[in-house]
Amino acid sequence: MTQQGFSRRYLDELDSVLKAIDAAAVDRAIACLREARDADRTIFSCGNGGSASIASQMVVDMVKGASYRKMTRPFRMISLTDSVATITAYANDVSYESVFVEPLRNWAQKGDVLIAISGSGNSPNVLRAVEFANGVGCTTIGLTTGSGGRLKDLVTLPLSVPSSHMGRLEDAFFIMTHILCYAFMEDACG
């Protein structure tokens, strides 16, 4: 197969995956974020590997893009993936499974939101964070595969991607986080 053939096939398969995403569920996630912002609640995000990068980038888009010059209603958002020192201290001294849940114990409160991203839907550290967040009354949103994994059944609002291909999962996760952010950046949600 030529490189052009691969590119066309990848894009066609990605297009098929994107068309199968539940846009109404993404709209419900936008409403959750608006409610958290308006109530001055904190939004947390977490994930591993590529999902960690997506969690971090979403914070940039929300804290800068959706909040800049809108200081009457800025977003309060923190990525639990961004403090390498904290992550490695917990991973070394406690366990890797604790790297997201322990910081949440310090900050999460009822009414906050946790956006958990996991391609497999089975990342133990992400699942523990969601379990804790659910327990203290946070709204939990999970970006994950629709092909299995515990995350989609554990969160308040699953944003499932109907694929198990990691590249297309991460492509779709980025697009969904951009929809969540640009809904506010383009003032579609006030």
pTM for this predicted structure: 0.94
> What is the structure's pLDDT at 154?
98
Domains, the chain? 3-185 (3.40.50.10490)
Q: What angle do CA 146, 152, 158 make, to 5 degrees?
A: 90
Residue 81: closest CA among 108, 113, 59, 111: 59
Number of Cβ atoms within 10 Å of the Cβ of 30: 17
pLDDT at 93: 97
As a whole number of angstroms, the distance between CA 34 and CA 37 comes to: 5
Residue 78 predicted with pLDDT over 70: yes
Buried-exposed string 131-165: b where 16+ CB fall within 10 A, e elsewhere: ebbeeeebbbbbbbbbbebbbbebbbbbbbbbbeb
Confidence grade of residue 2 (pLDDT, cut at 50, 70, 90): low
Q: What is the distance, to the nearest Å, from the Cα of residue 150 to the centroid of all Cα atoms in its chain? A: 15
Mean pLDDT value across residues 36-52? 97
Q: State residue 167's pLDDT score.
A: 96
